[in-house]
Amino acid sequence: MMIQLIECPRDAMQGWPHPIATDVKVAYLNQLLQVGFHTLDCGSFVSPKAIPQMADTPQVLAQLNMQHTNTNLLVIVANERGALDACAFEHITYIGFPFSVSPTFQQRNTNSTIEESWERVQRIQALCTQHGKTLVVYLSMAFGNPYGDAYDESVLQYWTAKMTAIGIHIISLADTVGVATPEQISTALQALIPAFPQASIGVHLHSTALHWERKLMAAYAAGCQRYDGALKGIGGCPMAQNDLVGNMATENLLSFFKTHTSLTVNEDALQIALGMAGRVFT
């Protein structure tokens, strides 16, 4: 099984309570580019009022050293304006859009209804096609939500079908607040992966330290090949709720995949990055 590991420092940074200097971000991201991840989720083009920590994404991107790395860059956008800004950067490969199956979270996260967001997705997909970028859609709150919004996992089938019908072939199921059970993860992936062979169905899991391994095993056993993580398990969506549930720790993912697959990274570069993470997030 060919595993794609996506490192998400953007997810870790966006909700961090203290400002992180641009030069610190640049140094950290440049180190992560040497580790050997498939993709680096490195920034976002969103309202600086909503996510002030990401306001310097254009300045950060301009200083990244892409000469000695095979890692792809991904940024998050919330509307067409952000997508158009992202398209101006040649070395960005992927543009991600958070599409929530929870109406409450879609409004909180992108200030739009689900219907309005679907219109945005279609326009962003057209921009990506025009500019040679690949759109990644995150189905946020994919396993339930904390707001009491109605949830049924058939909604994942419905929206995956809609997305793939317009040529979007990377769909990531986002457990935005860490509510997914291993059984839910297994059931959802076992339904989606064979039903949409033209698509790469990934997982963006959030988890406490106690439950990560069972969640990860459920995804792996179901045939999932695309996984998001963040060093030291730092992360969480500040737009979702007050208490953030961190990302799945990349070092745990790597430990798991070394046992079960042939995935390898630059261990020396990884150890330096881990040390830097300890200083960036203090």
Q: Which pLDDT tens digit goes with each residue over 18-30?
A: 999 999 999 999 9
Q: Which amino acid is at 217?
A: M
Length of the chain equals 282
- The per-residue pLDDT for 236 is 55
Q: How many CA atoms lie within 13 A of 12 on its CB side?
A: 27
- The per-residue pLDDT for 240 is 43
Helix axes 154-165, 182-195, angle to 10 degrees: 30
Residue with tokens 């607040």: 177
Cα-based angle 59, 10, 58 (whole degrees, multiple of 5):
15
pTM, to two decimals:
0.94
- Give residue limits of the domains in the chain: 4-280
According to CATH, the topology of domain 4-280 is TIM Barrel (3.20.20)
Nearest to 238 by CA among 282, 181, 178, 176: 176
Radius of gyration of the chain (CA): 17
- The per-residue pLDDT for 148 is 87
Segment-wise mean pLDDT, segments of 10 residues, the chain, 282 residues: 94 91 98 98 95 97 97 97 98 97 88 93 98 97 88 94 98 90 96 98 88 94 97 67 68 95 96 96 88
pLDDT digits (tens, 9 = 90+) for 103-140: 898 898 888 899 999 999 999 999 999 999 999 999 99
- The per-residue pLDDT for 242 is 42
Q: Which amino acid is at 45?
A: F
- The per-residue pLDDT for 87 is 98
- The per-residue pLDDT for 243 is 47
Alpha carbons 188 and 197: distance in angstroms, whole number: 14
